[in-house]
Structures are given as structure tokens and as C-alpha cells.
Amino acid sequence: MEAALRILDEEGLEAVTMRRVGRELGVEAMSLYNHVEDKEAILEGVTELVMSEFAFPEPSGEWVETARKGARAWRDLFRKHPNVIQLMAERKHPLTSVGALLPMEAALQILRSAGLSDQETVQAFRALGGYLMGSVILESGGMIAGSETGPSPEELAKMLPPDELPNFISLLPLLHECDLEETFEFGLDLILEGLKARVDRARTPS
């Protein structure tokens, strides 16, 4: 599983094959079947291995702060293993390993304890999950902010029609120089403040 995770981190999900894992271990691919059923079993183990690295947040007096710590822990995990996002997104079967599901259990517990209904808890979990995964994907790519090897904001602006993309071009320097930590916290605040407002409204007598 550790060998497969190294391949996933360094070469991507498509590179994780029985043959490639065998080569990483210095054995024939067929010998792996003495230890695992198939490639899916390896990927299941990789997911559990990644989830075992999750840093569970210490509970605090306010659920919002505990949720904030939990969201940061999820982000740290995804940033360390960004390709696991694709692995989770392309799964054909739900997770059944208790070890792999414990971080999700913790997240659901935090949201449920805030006073959200069961349906709101699930919706909030999905909204936060989508935000966390999307943030890491954007951080690791150059689609918006650009990359060190690509054109500078000034060079890119000269390639684009200002009459068709006036907002994009005018904001391009800020998009390029965007502070990732500040941007992540901004989006996280929007979600958590919205959830807190919903909880507070439900507690306020009509």
C-alpha cells in the first residue's frame, strides 16, 4: 500500500497498476496476488492509508472553531496527497473500511452537534467537501493563478481581447498573486458563517 501511495503521489492514479507496484517493490506483478485480491483492493488500502494520516481536531468550546480546524486538517491531507481526490471521485463502490470512514464520521459529528438537521448535516458535509477538494485542485493547477513557467500577467493580458474579457484582464494581477491561505480562509468563513446563521435562526423563537 505504501508503494502504491508513492506511485499515486508522484505519477498519478493511472500509474497505479499491479505491474507498476510490483516493479516498485522489485517483484513480479503476479506475486502481488498472494497478498491482495486485485488492483481495487490495493486502491482501497491506499485510501485507508491516506485517511490514517488525518489529524483529528481537538474539540473546542465553539463548534465553528472545531469545524474550522477539521476543514484545515482535510485540506492539509488533500494537499499532501492531491491525487487521492481523483481516486475518491472515481470510486465505483462506497468505502466500507472503518479506518477510512472515521475522518468522515468526525466531520459529520461536528456538523450534527451544531444543531443542524440530519439533511442539513449531509448537505453541509457535501458543500464543505466540494469546497475543500475544489480548493486543492485549483491550488495545484495554473488555470486561474498561472504558474511559474507560464506567461506573466502582463504578457497574458496582451494575448487576450480586452473588450471581451475586461474583468478577467483587470483582475489578472490579483488572480495571479492570490494568497492561497487567505483565499482558503475567506471561502471557509463564507461557508461556516452561513451555517452558523442557519443554526442561529433555527434556535431563535419565531
Specify the pTM. 0.87
Sole residue written with cell 481526490: 85
Task: Tell me what the mean pLDDT of segment 141-151 comes to.
Answer: 63
- Contact between 42 and 7 (Cβ < 8 Å): no
What pLDDT, in 10s, does the model give residues 102-139? 999 999 999 999 999 999 999 999 999 999 999 999 88
Task: Tell me the C-alpha to C-alpha distance, in Å, between residue 129 and each of 11, 44, 105, 146, 162.
Answer: 24, 20, 13, 24, 36
> How far, in Å, CA of 54 to CA of 51, rounded?
5
Ranges 92-101, 144-153, 180-189: which has the least confidence: 144-153
Q: Which domains are present in the chain?
A: 1-39 (1.10.10.60), 52-203 (1.10.357.10)
> Reduced to 3 DSSP states, what percent helix, strand and coil does the chain have, rounded to the nearest 5?
70, 0, 30
Each residue's pLDDT tens digit, 44-89: 999 999 999 999 999 888 999 999 999 999 999 999 999 999 999 9
Output the nine-digit C-alpha cell for 185: 480562509
